[in-house]
Structure 1
Amino acid sequence: MYGAGAVGGVVAGRLAMAGHDVAVVARGAHLAAIRRDGLTLRQPSGDTVVKLDAVEHPGDTHKDVVVLGMKSMDTAAALVALEGFDGPVVCLQNGVANERAALRHFARVYGVHVILPGSHLEPGVVTAHCAPVPGILDLGRFPSGSDATAQALARDLESAGFVSQPRPDIMRWKYRKLLMNLGNAVEALCGRVDGVDEAAEPVRAEGEAVLRHAGIDVASAAEDRERRGDIMRWPGGVGRAGGSSWQSLARGTGTVEADYLNGEIVLLGRLHGVPTPANETARRLVQRAARSGARPGSMTPAEFLHAVSLSTNDGR
């Protein structure tokens, strides 16, 4: 598991608890804490300390399958570090750019549609918020299709308590998740306050319009609701402070993955002649917030919408 944060850490921890041989590639204080104390997996049922190998470089451990769990801006460096590996590479990541990048380096690449509410706010600790099923992790080969490896990976994830099935059309599901993730930047900028959902509406509306104009096949919102059903359950009183970009600002990492979420819509908009001022504003402002060390909630929803209106009037 290359990247052991909110998603990668939860999946690695549960796979190890299910008896699978798992090693994680981590860095900094998180790596030091896992090496010293183990990985603490916090779940509604309680905390479990999972002992597993933790290394700083993927060359320091045996690999049969590599799962990329880092944010998209760190994928390029990870792919270089993995040169020489000839097994399957699994993109347990949001966005839609990682699989294409990985396919330049590796012949067998798999995408995962990640529905896993998790948190990583302190070294050595990751939190899974839903129970008894922590997440839905459908997967498929990139660019399309399924095979015996996809089926085996799905079985392994199921053995660790996740819901997972192979999907030959995995990218249309990942594009639906991309649309849902477009609001991450707005949530990070404004915090989880009244009005944040309304402030995120323009970025999602632009995303829908751009993907439609580009002719990209996207799983519908109705399909997504049907797939989720009542699988993901949040025990009473359990919640998380914010999504992945909110957590990046809260931890002061200095980076967010908005270039690969909102930036994906901006890129497609420019390629197809569709204006995307809301997504460009969200991308630009949250990147600035990350670089400056701003905390979540540095602006109000009204201030964000005002910035969008100014960008719209500028013709961006």
Structure 2
Amino acid sequence: MRICVYGAGAIGGYLAAKLARSGQDVSVVARGAHLEAIRKDGLVLREKDGEVRVRLEASDDPLALQPADYVIVALKAHQVTAAVPGIRHLCGAEGAVVTAANGVPWWYTYALGGPFESLRIEAVDPGGAIWDGIGPDRAIGCVVWPAAEIAAPGIIQHIASERFDLGEPQGDRSERVVRLSKAMIAAGLKAPVRPRLRDDIWTKLWGNCCFNPVSALTGATLEQIATDPGLRALCRRMMSEAEMVGEAMGARFLLDIDKRIDAAGATGAHKTSMLQDLERGRPLEIDALVTAVIEMADMAEIPCPNLRSVHALIASKARLLGLHP
């Protein structure tokens, strides 16, 4: 099969290197110094048991690459709208689009059932440009659990976890999602096909919607948030509100809130992605992680005072720093 990874940053680069190493035909869309390094010296992946270097086709112009069976979109949510024409070209007539990103995916309400079926979520898909431009029927969901970083241009450092949960919005084990799962497993990844992927989306979003903005506001690591009584209590209240929203949107929560906080704290002195972006002067992923949750709360008429207050603070801070529109 042919696979294109659109956005070969830390997670996209990790996926591309693992899949290419296993023999898949992989291309990547990258940019800047990272792209130049990949073109010159290949893509390097460093893991605890060693280092591999793979040669693959790379471009900053998706229209210059051949269409693929799977387009793995590893961009941040706020980058996807501008990339729609390129993604549409890359998936060709029958290719699938794999949404490997944090937060609420743009296709979330597709095949959801109930009163919120097919409602567009403006926070992650302004004007419905992604939904209309790509089509939710092409989407395969992907919950990203690994931690990785770009150690230097062209070099990906894997930190922890190899798990990517996959699932169709309808919840079925389609031929295309099973085929992708097998390819990822053959590449040394954990890639189960999940019948209720929205549950997994919310399991991760549950933490992201509170840990990320709280860390960016305070500078605290996950360990510090989990052990500071005031911050832990705030996150607990935010997660309780998010749980009500998720359940209204059809998700099930099978984990206790305190266990979820403890699991995050167990990662140690780890900075959330939003805190890292803040420190590096990069745009913050507020909309996919927090704004979308509040938008869904509005749909379900759930108050969420703690989520709304923290959202107002982080959105204001980001705008003042020029890191959020």
Q: TM-score range by the shorter chain?
A: 0.7 to 0.9
Deviations 1:72-99 (A, max 9, x none): 1111122232234231111111222333
CA-CA distance at 1:147 after TM superposition:
0.6
CA-CA distance at 1:155 after TM superposition:
0.5
Are the equivalent residues in 2 in contact too, given 1:119–1:244 (CA < 8 A)?
no
CA-CA distance at 1:219 after TM superposition:
4.2
Is the counterpart of residue 137 in structure 1 residue 164 in structure 2?
yes
2:75 to 52, 55, 70: 70
Deviations 1:181-204 (A, max 9, x none): 111222233234464231533322
2:157 to 127, 131, 137: 127
CA-CA distance at 1:281 after TM superposition:
3.7
* Gap change, CA 1:291 and 1:34, over 3 Å in 2: farther
CA distance in 2, matches of 1:165, 1:263: 29
Is the counterpart of residue 259 in structure 1 residue 287 in structure 2?
yes
Q: Which shows bigger deviation, 36-45 or 158-167?
A: 36-45
Deviations 1:255-275 (A, max 9, x none): 111111111221122223322
Q: Which amino acid aligns with 1:88?
A: A
Q: Which amino acid aligns with 2:281?
A: G
Identify the residue that residue 280 of structure 1 maps to in structure 2.
308
CA-CA distance at 1:252 after TM superposition:
2.0
CA distance in 2, matches of 1:249, 1:113: 23
CA distance in 2, matches of 1:220, 1:150: 24
Deviations 1:215-265 (A, max 9, x none): 52234227xx9xxxxxxxx9xxx9784232223223322x11111111122
1:6 to 4, 10, 14: 10
Identify the residue that residue 177 of structure 1 maps to in structure 2.
204
Matches within 5 A, 1:3-152: 3-64=7-68, 65-84=70-89, 85-86=92-93, 87-100=95-108, 102-104=130-132, 105-106=134-135, 107-120=137-150, 122-130=152-160, 134-152=161-179
Q: Secondary structure at the match of 2:171?
A: coil
* Gap change, CA 1:240 and 1:14, over 3 Å in 2: farther
* Gap change, CA 1:247 and 1:136, over 3 Å in 2: same
* Gap change, CA 1:290 and 1:9, over 3 Å in 2: farther
Are the equivalent residues in 1 in contact too, given 2:99–2:105 (CA < 8 A)?
no
2:297 to 260, 264, 269: 269
CA distance in 2, matches of 1:140, 1:292: 38
CA distance in 1, matches of 2:57, 2:310: 38
1:216 to 236, 240, 250: 250
Q: Secondary structure at the match of 2:10?
A: coil
Q: Which amino acid aligns with 2:79?
A: D
1:196 to 225, 244, 257: 225
Q: Which shows bigger deviation, 193-202 or 43-52?
A: 193-202
Q: Which amino acid aligns with 1:245?
A: M
Are the equivalent residues in 2 in contact too, given 1:145–1:169 (CA < 8 A)?
no
CA distance in 2, matches of 1:99, 1:49: 34
CA distance in 2, matches of 1:284, 1:4: 31
CA distance in 2, matches of 1:58, 1:263: 29
Instruction: Extract unaligned runs of 5+ from structure 1.
Output: 226-233, 296-316
Give aligned pairs, total: 277
Are the equivalent residues in 1 in contact too, given 2:243–2:253 (CA < 8 A)?
no
TM-score by length of 1: 0.77
Identify the residue that residue 273 of structure 2 maps to in structure 1.
244
Q: Which amino acid aligns with 2:203?
A: R
CA-CA distance at 1:145 after TM superposition:
1.8
RMSD of aligned residue pairs (Cα, Å): 2.7
Identify the residue that residue 207 of structure 1 maps to in structure 2.
242
CA-CA distance at 1:157 after TM superposition:
0.6
Q: Which amino acid aligns with 1:73?
A: H
Are the equivalent residues in 1 in contact too, given 2:150–2:157 (CA < 8 A)?
yes
Instruction: Extract unaligned runs of 5+ from structure 2.
Output: 109-124, 227-231, 260-265
Identity %: 30
